[in-house]
Amino acid sequence: MEPLSNKKKVLDVKPLTLAEKMYLPAIAKGMAITMSHFFKKKVTIRYPEQQREFSENFRGMHSLKRDEDGRERCTACGLCALSCPAEAITMTAAERQKGEENLYREEKYAAVYEINMLRCIFCGLCEEACPKEAIYLDGPIVPSDTLRKDFIYGKDKLVEAPLNQ
């Protein structure tokens, strides 16, 4: 069969030379290589004390953002839930009452906002779909837990801390 790339690889099967048959020179070479690694800089990160720096586009835990006045940006439009391929996001919308203008930016807000972290695949589509720049995946790694119910993150875990705290 004609190879697709037109590249040819010539197999070179020479019989072993005496030095190769003896194994020992090759072993000595291997030993030298491993020994050179003995003195190299270690790549270990001592995890709980030291943390690895993530890349700029690392996607971690979600956070629901506040605006410059400390009001929640989310208007419960549901676009994030719609765009979510894993169907991890659910929310219940509510209407803003009088006197809550300092809490929510628009007339509608999410009374309940839940992300099932067991379903989330951290694709970042919710982030892209959000017209209000309310959700970002800029958090840390989602911590481990033992119960499935504890992986459903509500607003208590997702909303950013208020500004004046």
Partner 1 sequence: MLTDLYIKIALVVVIFAISLLIAMYSTYAERKVAAFLQDRLGPDRAGPWGILQPAADGMKMFMKEEIIPTRATGFLFIVGPSLAIMTACIGSAVIPWGQKLVIGSTTIDLQVTDINVGILYIFGVVSLGVYGIMIGGWASNNKYSLLGAIRAASQNISYEISMGLSIIALLMVTGTLSLREIAEQQHGWHWNIIYQPVGFVLFLICAFAETNRSPFDLPECETELVGGYHTEYSSMKLGFYLFAEYINMFISSAVMVTLYWGAYNYPGMDYIAAHFGANASVILGVVLMFMKIFLFIFFFMWVRWTIPRFRYDQLMDLGWKGLIPFAIANIVVTGLVIVLYHHS
Question: Is residue 2 annotated as involved in ligand binding?
Answer: no
Residue whose C-alpha is closest to residue 89's, from 72, 66, 64, 56: 64
Q: Which is nearer to partner 1, 45 or 112 (CB)?
A: 45
Q: Which is nearer to partner 1, 1 or 33 (CB)?
A: 33
Question: Is residue 123 annotated as involved in ligand binding?
Answer: yes
Alpha-helical (H) ranges within 6-162 are: 18-21, 24-38, 79-83, 125-129, 155-158
Q: Which of residues 28-57 bind partner 1 (CB under 8 A)?
A: 30-31, 33-35, 37-38, 40-44, 46
Tell me the three state secondary structure of residue 124: coil
Q: Which is nearer to partner 1, 30 or 162 (CB)?
A: 30
Distance between CA atoms of 123 and 57, rounded to whole angstroms?
A: 11
Tell me the three state secondary structure of residue 39: coil
Q: How far is the CB of 141 from partner 1 (least distance, A)?
A: 21
Question: Is residue 80 annotated as involved in ligand binding?
Answer: yes
The C-alpha R_g of the chain, in whole angstroms, comes to: 28
Q: How far is the CB of 34 from partner 1 (least distance, A)?
A: 5
Q: Which residue has the tokens 């400390």?
A: 70
Q: Does 17 bind partner 1 (CB under 8 A)?
A: no
Residues that bind partner 1 in the complex, under the rule CB under 8 A:
24, 27, 30-31, 33-35, 37-38, 40-44, 46
